[in-house]
Amino acid sequence: MTEPWADCRRLSHVDGLVAGLSALCGMLGPKVLPFGPGGHALVPRSVAETATSAWFGGVLSERSAEPEQPLTDELLSAAGLVALRRPVPPGPRVVETDLWWATGIAWVRLGASAALAEDCLAHLETRSLLGNLLVAGQLADALTGQLTVDALLLGGSRPTPALLHEAHRQITETDRALSRLRGAGGFLADGPGAAVHLSELLADVYLGGTP
């Protein structure tokens, strides 16, 4: 993992998904707003408010707020995120750059997933459930899922669309399994389910579909 991506993962793990995403956006350069293949963007509020350039798969254009459509959502607003949509400009995207960005998003999501695993472990300890073989097995499966993503992203080969789709799918499955281990509270808007939902939205926006 390159050092900047390590920082993104660490920040997402320690300070939350938005902190990791902010660091990743900063890697594009100052005042750049990244849009996914479908013309959607999901970024920290500070990025949406200050960006002067729109980024479409590595192709930069001057940003004009006029054609942008804000997508309001209470959960996004509470998290400090802004969702936007605008028409995709004509012309090809730079595939390698899209893959680079999707790899960074995967590291950000993996950091948040690691934080969720720690939260889940602490929850299970307080309820003396770690000795339950079924629960222990489900937790082990979830942690194995995270290690699988690590291996996919650190495999040494250049990322491919199939590899990245598999990595994001694995993160989604792992996070959903961890949410279930938190019980009903794992799916509440003010519980860990909110972070899981936002993480899936990131993949949906920048991978071009829910993995």
Q: What is the pLDDT of residues 134-153, one digit of tens each?
A: 888 888 999 999 999 998 88
Q: How confident is the model over 57-116, as pLDDT tens digits?
A: 888 888 886 789 999 888 999 999 999 999 888 877 787 888 899 999 999 999 999 999
Instruction: Look at residue 195 and give its three-state secondary structure.
Output: helix
Rg from Cα positions in the chain: 17
The neighbour count for residue 103, using CB atoms within 10 Å, is 22
Domains and CATH numbers, the chain: 5-85 (no CATH), 95-207 (1.20.140.10)
The confidence band for 185, taking pLDDT boundaries of 50, 70 and 90, is low
Evaluate whether 56 touches 86 at the Cβ level (below 8 Å): no
Token duo for residue 112: 């948040």
Note if the pTM is more than 0.75.
Answer: yes
What Å distances lie between residue 66 and 8, 59, 176, CA to CA?
Answer: 31, 19, 37
Whether the Cβ atoms of residue 45 and residue 84 lie closer than 8 Å to each other? no
Q: Are strands 40-44 and 81-85 parallel, antiparallel or unpaired?
A: antiparallel
